[in-house]
A and B are shown apart, each in its own frame.
Chain A
Amino acid sequence: ILNVEQSPQSLHVQEGDSTNFTCSFPSSNFYALHWYRWETAKSPEALFVMTLNGDEKKKGRISATLNTKEGYSYLYIKGSQPEDSATYLCALGVTSGTYKYIFGTGTRLKVLA
């Protein structure tokens, strides 16, 4: 059974602080790694999809890196703002018949004003 782990489970930071969290996954069966941002009562919003070892993606103040050999991805938020408060999910994309996601449990971020 493939297991995707995220840490920390939750996190409180002050407005303006930079922060990062981790997604760990088994490197076998890897096809892609997806990051989503999920605000309460809304749909998860796609942030990044990464496929290549060493990939780095950036969207505004949020960036992500990928290491497929050691099986981890980092998500960074620079200068956190209250509107960044959300749960950040990573999902391992695997191909086994059909393309599927295996989700981590998420990191719940709260940015304090």
Chain B
Amino acid sequence: GAVVSQHPSRVICKSGTSVKIECRSLDFQATTMFWYRQFPKKSLMLMATSNEGSKATYEQGVEKDKFLINHASLTLSTLTVTSAHPEDSSFYICSARQPDNYGYTFGSGTRLTVV
């Protein structure tokens, strides 16, 4: 079945540095990918919709200069957390829409800790 690979699964970085998270669809082309963030004991919150070949669409309240999304190919979307701060520490997960239906396939998530 459809597989989405996300890495790294865990990353620890220093305040002020940038971190890139990759999400790849391995056996299908994903024109649309979604990036979510999850705070402890909260639901997955959609951050942005990543569209291949065009600018991402950000949800209200998400800083686009802070969370840079690039979807340069049909199989790869990246989320870069720029100038990370401890409050950016969170769980980030991507999903890709399968081409023939409304099913979404998720990556396994990235736990980001900013120290």
Contacts and interface: CB of A to CB of B under 8 A. Distances in A.
A102 B44 CA distance: 8
Interface stretch (B11-19, B66-74, B102-110): B102-110
Given A99-B102, A105-B42, A43 B32 contact: no
A41 B103 contact: no
A58 interface: no
Interface string B43-78: 111100100000001000000000000000000000
A98 B54 CA distance: 14
Interface string A41-54: 11110100100000
A32 B102 contact: yes
A interface SS class:
strand
B43 A98 contact: no
B108 A105 contact: no
B24 interface: no
A97 B46 CA distance: 14
A77 to B, nearest CB: 21
A43 B103 contact: no
A41 B110 CA distance: 9
Interface of A: 4, 9, 31-32, 34, 36, 41-44, 46, 49, 89, 93, 97-106
